[in-house]
Amino acid sequence: MKCRATPFAKREMQPRKTRETPVTQPSDSPDAGQPGKLPAWAASILRGGAISVGLGVIFAWFGVYGTAEFPMPLRIVYWSGLIALGAGSAIFISPLVFERWLVKSHPAIKIAVASLLISLPVTMGIILLEAAGDGSVTQPMWWVRQYLYVFVVSALLTTGGWVLDLLKEGKIAAQTGPQIASRTGGQTASPFADRLPVKFRGGTVYAVSAEDHYLRVHTSLGETMVLMRLADAVRELASIEGLQTHRSWWVAKQGLADASRGDGKVTLTLKSGVEAPVSRTYQKAVKDAGWL
């Protein structure tokens, strides 16, 4: 029996820690202190697991790629495992391709490269399962065929994930587009503001920086922490003029006090005095925006 293909989707990798130290504790996050509410990372894992099992049941039910000869429970385990392997690979590979390695490349190139890389561990999983099933090792040309099959499915699903992200970004932009004045004046309301502790919601957002699974929010009222990904925060801050300056930093124009260049490095100084780095990837965007 020769089996192939598994679905997976593009997701974003969690940002790394910066050199700042917390001012307010993560308990200020809207996700903290709520009995029975799972952390974002745990909810994400459970959601991914549920999707993998659900798709595994569908693939098993239809006996995709010659698996109909196996008992239903075995088919469910087989397909759920392969789908989970693909999804897990996508969690790490897609953000690297889309947000770091090929930031300025055409989406088709990003999708192709991500699909090629994601297909490797999935194909290896199929080969190992085949070997475990009958104790034999198939010919290399069979490996190549399985890899091509997996790549096609990977490309289709990665494209689907990319389109869904675009639609999500468009929906958020449409929701945040109307300029609604804040009750405290000066700042445009945004979904992001609702995530902040009450005492910070009246402040002006200067910047957001990533620290492990949390974001440090720099405001005119001080700093606080929220539990979410930087990419999600940037989408929710679409109504505020700003730029991503680094893989772990987003800076609002309203929070910018100064910009400096030296030794090939660009640094932005916030009104609070905090310095935000500008990586080479984003220097042109910062310059084009007139911040330098």
- In this prediction the pTM is 0.47
Segment 22-30 mean pLDDT: 42
Report the distance separating Cα 69 and Cα 29, nearest Å: 51
May I ask the CATH architecture of the domain 191-288?
A: Beta Barrel (2.40)
Q: Among residues 214, 201, 221, which one has the least CA distance to residue 271?
A: 221
Residue identified by tokens 């000066």 is 186
Instruction: Kindly give the residue spans of alpha helices, DSSP state H, lying in 97-216.
Output: 107-134, 140-176
Q: Which strands form 265-270's sheet, in the order they lie side by side?
A: 256-262, 265-270, 275-278
High-pLDDT (> 90) share of the chain, %? 22
Q: Where are the domains of the chain?
A: 33-176, 191-288
* 81-137 per-position pLDDT tens digit: 888 888 888 888 888 888 778 877 888 998 999 999 999 998 898 888 777 766 666
Amino acid (one-letter) located at 111: I
